[in-house]
A and B are shown apart, each in its own frame.
Chain A
């Protein structure tokens, strides 16, 4: 009996570390997924989440470097993503362009713009210099044994994420705005007939999706580390899109799937650390393989907002 006394505390310790790492890894995904939820639930496909994340990551680093204040950087990250979202909204809603093409175009523009401005502002190619980053929270006023290693270290942005997630859930399902927004994504003709001004909901939804994705980028560049590298989002925006589809476009479920993805990645890293013989680079492909796997298993496309991506009347 005594020999196995160490198993339970060891297990809970490892589990806590895993969940913590999973949460940290899944956080940027959740920011982008929440952003995607707003846009797509209003009926506008947004595959430009990747570019919006990248824009947010860059703007945050740029402004933080220029002003020396990471909080301005945070604001700039959200604003930059929001601008990109605004571009997508304008091109799709006003210009009636194809939504998928617009998203791809924004991704390319973001790749080009961030690389270009990286050189302009920092005279660097590839990696920016280190800039002031958001302060981390390493301890709480209260100490709960076991909970500490689960939660800390954290950044303010992570706390904000939890709040934003809750707010998103409430907005979607308990407010007038959310009801009308979802109606725009299900059947804009019915919504219009009921007196809802559809574009008045779609524009803010897409801009917000850009801002949230931008905050996901800030999470990448300014909270765990403190610099920007070209292409640092590395496909996370697309994985977030896949997660959104898997979750049936529901923010509640999306959070769980993001955590799952994060934990899976963290677990894979641990295993790789324990057995170096495993091909490490295939590990980097792991989130994408997982996304394909999860997409193949579900029939979530059936639950898409009915009017998603449909040609705007």
Chain B
């Protein structure tokens, strides 16, 4: 309970600071926040958008939260997501309609694998060369960004002048959960929620989860008990990277059906805020993701009605992370 009260204090502080900033710049904070909330939660289309964003944010939040429990700070969610999306779209544009739904499954699996490998790369550099994972994951983010750009505008491009890949085949598309007019909610949200619950269960009810938590809590004691610490680090980064890669795969197969160049989207960085808001608990990424998704889903309304730039969300996230770091015991590792 003490942790929860510190968290609420931190959130309140961050909101207060943001409100102050908005007010100084001539925006009425209360009405801006209301506009955000009503835009995201007030209409079926808004809710669909909310759910769509939450689908990805839960996963990128897990990408940070899982390694965190093992003692690692994975800020490579952006890159891992990109590589996952790339893998998924590379398979998705292939004309494999004969495979039917298996095509989609392959794409999603490829996405997970792509993200996992990209995360595992950082872990490998840490265990073999001793480079801190913060530096390697950041570098890999930027490298992934350009790789995606290169392939999206090059080999996989839809056509001259296009800034995205070709559309993926119909058989590769992820099933939909709900549609309302033009807006559609992918069934991927069930995958995200299920994975969050599943990882939570894994963390507390399996041996692997115990090993992971023990390494995060006290790697020395874990080593003396017989747990292979570098191997746990590696696997934690695979899981984290895989979650981010899954997010990329769902973006491609369930939402956009293509991959845009300059695909950053910031979901990776949002994931840090989601993980911190959830205090590192996998199941807590669900409510945390809904919170951040409200900000992301509502920002269109912000721009149109209030002319507030969408960068406000990054500002709030930064303030949240700082306040949480100040008021709770959240560090860059357990």
Contacts and interface: CB of A to CB of B under 8 A. Distances in A.
A and B touch in the complex (CB under 8 A): yes
Interface of A: 47, 91, 95, 97-102, 104-116, 118-120, 125, 230, 234-235, 238-239, 241-242, 245, 279, 281-282, 284-285, 288-289, 291-292, 295-296, 299, 301
Contacts of A100: 73, 134, 331-332
B176 interface: no
A52 B167 CA distance: 40
A108 B274 CA distance: 14
Contacts of B131: 245, 295-296, 301
Contacts of A109: 314-315, 318-319, 322
Contacts of A245: 131, 135
Contacts of B332: 98-101
Contacts of B272: 104, 108
Interface residues of B, number: 47
30 contacts: A95-B325, A100-B134, A100-B332, A101-B331, A102-B322, A104-B321, A105-B321, A105-B325, A106-B318, A108-B272, A108-B317, A108-B318, A108-B321, A111-B311, A112-B312, A115-B309, A119-B307, A238-B138, A241-B135, A242-B139, A284-B146, A284-B149, A285-B142, A285-B145, A289-B143, A292-B125, A295-B136, A296-B125, A296-B131, A301-B130
A231 B313 CA distance: 15
Nearest to A302: B130
Nearest to A284: B146
Given A282-B146, A288-B140, A295-B136, 11 more contacts: A98-B325, A107-B318, A108-B273, A110-B318, A111-B311, A112-B315, A115-B311, A239-B139, A279-B150, A285-B142, A288-B143
A283 B110 CA distance: 26
A72 B194 CA distance: 55
A281 B149 contact: yes
Contacts of A125: 309
Q: Interface residues of B: mostly helix, strand, loop or mixed?
A: helix
Contacts of A120: 25, 309
B311 A235 contact: no
B129 interface: yes
State the 10 A-B residue pairs at the shortest beta-carbon distance, nearest first.
A112-B315, A115-B311, A108-B318, A109-B318, A112-B314, A285-B146, A98-B331, A97-B325, A100-B332, A105-B322
Contacts of B301: none
Nearest to A295: B131
Q: Interface residues of A: mostly helix, strand, loop or mixed?
A: helix
Contact of B136 (A95, A97, A292): A292
B326 interface: yes
A288 B138 CA distance: 9
Contact of B325 (A102, A113, A279, A288): A102
A48 to B, nearest CB: 10
Nearest to B324: A101
A120 B308 CA distance: 9
A279 B317 CA distance: 35
Nearest to B145: A285
A101 B139 contact: no
Looking at B75, B149, B314, which has the most chain A CB atoms within 10 Å of its CB?
B314
B178 to A, nearest CB: 32
Contacts of A112: 311-318
Nearest to A111: B314
Contacts of B238: none
A245 B314 CA distance: 28
Given A118-B309, A288-B142, A242 B135 contact: yes
B186 to A, nearest CB: 27
A299 B311 contact: no
Interface of B: 25, 73, 75, 125, 129-132, 134-136, 138-140, 142-143, 145-147, 149-150, 153-154, 269, 272-273, 276, 307-319, 321-322, 325-326, 330-332
A118 B325 CA distance: 28
Nearest to A286: B146
A296 B130 CA distance: 8
A233 to B, nearest CB: 11
B321 A101 contact: yes
B303 to A, nearest CB: 9
Given A112-B315, A116-B315, A101 B325 contact: yes
B326 A235 contact: no
A88 B313 CA distance: 20
A14 to B, nearest CB: 27
Looking at A99, A120, A279, A281, which has the most chain B CB atoms within 10 Å of its CB?
A281
Contacts of B331: 98, 100-101
B142 A235 contact: yes
Contacts of A98: 325, 330-332
A279 to B, nearest CB: 5
A99 B325 CA distance: 9
Nearest to A123: B307
Contacts of A114: 311
A295 B129 CA distance: 8
Contacts of B147: 282, 285
A291 B131 CA distance: 11
Contacts of B321: 101, 104-105, 108
Contacts of A235: 138, 142
Looking at B153, B308, B309, B317, which has the most chain A CB atoms within 10 Å of its CB?
B309
A245 B150 CA distance: 29
A125 B73 CA distance: 32
Looking at B276, B307, B318, which has the most chain A CB atoms within 10 Å of its CB?
B318
Contacts of B309: 115-116, 118-120, 125
A110 B140 CA distance: 21
A47 B139 CA distance: 13
